[in-house]
């Protein structure tokens, strides 16, 4: 039988959220526009600045720990909306948490 030379895509080297551990949800996320983030997920500094609350495990409190999905996806902050999968920031956050690439 003739061997066909079909290129095989190596999905193990793809940078996608499905091969991640929500690494970017460890970052400090400032809330700079009103997207309707529920107040129980917000922490305030002494000047009234708002950031996403992070819990002792380092993750944002809005992250569902079982699914590693955002539990407030429709209301997530602007910074989360603009964080690009496979960007250099994404890859560097993955590297910090030992997920290469
Ligand atoms: S760090 Fe990148 S790959 Fe991981 S969850 Fe965030 S956007 Fe997705
Ligand atoms: S709001 Fe959602 S996307 Fe943004 S850091 Fe928290 S869990 Fe992640």
Within a domain: 6: no
Within a domain: 85: yes
pLDDT tens-place string over residues 46-56: 999 999 999 99
3-state secondary structure of 12: helix
pLDDT tens-place string over residues 21-70: 999 999 999 999 999 999 999 999 999 999 999 999 999 999 999 999 99
Within a domain: 32: yes
State how many domains the chain has: 1
Asked if residues 52 and 62 have their Cβ atoms less than 8 Å apart, the reply is: yes
- What is the pTM for the complete model shown? 0.88
CA nearest ligand 1 atom 6, residue: 24
Residues with CB under 6 A from ligand 2: 25, 29, 52, 60, 62-63, 70, 72, 76-77, 80
Handedness of CA 69, 56, 34, 31 (dihedral sign): negative
- The parent domain of residue 45 ranges over 19-96
Ligand closest in space to the Cα of 101? 1
């Amino acid at each position: 039988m003739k061997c066909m030379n079909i290129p095989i895509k190596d999905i193990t080297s793809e940078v996608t959220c499905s091969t991640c551990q929500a690494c970017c949800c460890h970052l400090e996320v400032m809330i700079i526009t009103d997207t309707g983030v529920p107040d129980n997920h917000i922490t305030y500094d002494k000047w009234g600045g708002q950031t996403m609350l992070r819990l002792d495990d380092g993750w944002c409190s809005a992250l569902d720990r079982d699914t590693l999905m955002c539990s407030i996806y429709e209301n997530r902050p602007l910074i989360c909306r603009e964080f690009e999968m496979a960007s250099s920031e994404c890859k560097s956050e993955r590297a910090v948490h030992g997920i290469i690439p």
